[in-house]
Amino acid sequence: MSISFSIIAVVSLIFGALFFLVDFYQRTHPKLNVSLIAGISISYFFLVLLPEIAENIPILPFELAFFEYLFVLIGFVFIHISEKLIVQKVESMSQRRMRKLIKKEKTLQNVEENIENILSKELEKDDLDDIALKDIAQTIADLHILGEEFKKKINRYKVKIQTNISEDLSNLRFFTNFSYHLLVGIIVVGLLAFDLIGGILFFLFAWFRAVITNRSESHIIFTDLDIYDTYAVDENMTRKYVLALSNFLGVLIGLLLDLISFEYTELFYIFFSFISGVILYTIVREVLPEKEKGQPIYFLIGFIGFTAIIFTLNIFTVII
Is residue 224 pLDDT above 50, yes or no?
no
- Rounded CA-CA distance 255/211 in Å is 24
Is residue 37 pLDDT above 60, yes or no?
yes
Give 200-214 pLDDT, tens digit per residue.
888 877 787 777 665
Give 158-196 pLDDT, tens digit per residue.
666 666 666 766 777 788 778 878 888 888 888 887 777
State residue 170's pLDDT score: 72
Contacts of 209 (CB under 8 A, 6+ apart): 41, 279, 282, 283, 287
Contacts of 236 (CB under 8 A, 6+ apart): none
pLDDT band at 246 (very low <50, low <70, confident <90, very high): confident
pLDDT band at 254 (very low <50, low <70, confident <90, very high): confident
b/e burial code for range 239-275 (CB count within 10 A of at least 16 → b): ebeebbbbbbbbbbebbebbeeeeebeeebbbbbbbb
Give 257-296 pLDDT, tens digit per residue.
877 766 666 677 788 888 888 888 877 877 777 767 778 8
Query: Residue type for 106, please?
Result: K
State residue 309's pLDDT score: 84
Residue, of 88 and 181, whose pLDDT is higher: 181
Mean pLDDT value across residues 101-107:
67
pLDDT band at 304 (very low <50, low <70, confident <90, very high): very high
247 in Cβ contact with 181 (< 8 Å): yes
Would you give the DSSP letter of residue 64? S
Strands (E), the chain: 219-222, 227-229
- Rounded CA-CA distance 18/51 in Å is 27
What count of Cα atoms within 13 Å lies in the side-chain half-sphere of residue 77? 6
Residue, of 288 and 133, whose pLDDT is higher: 288
Q: Where are the alpha helices (DSSP H) in 195-265?
A: 196-214, 237-259
Mean pLDDT value across residues 113-129:
62
Q: Could you tell me which of 100, 23, 3, 39 has the C-alpha nearest to residue 300?
A: 39
Q: Where are the alpha helices (DSSP H) in 195-236?
A: 196-214
Is residue 132 pLDDT above 70, yes or no?
no
Residue 31: helix, strand or coil by DSSP?
coil
Beta-bridge partners for 228? 220
Is residue 77 pLDDT above 80, yes or no?
yes
Query: Residue type for 97, please?
Result: R
Query: Mean of the per-residue pLDDT values for the chain?
Result: 73
Domain ranges (residues) in the chain = 2-91+170-319
Q: Are strands 219-222 and 227-229 parallel, antiparallel or unpaired?
A: antiparallel
Q: Which of 20-24, 194-198, 302-306 has the highest mean pLDDT?
A: 302-306
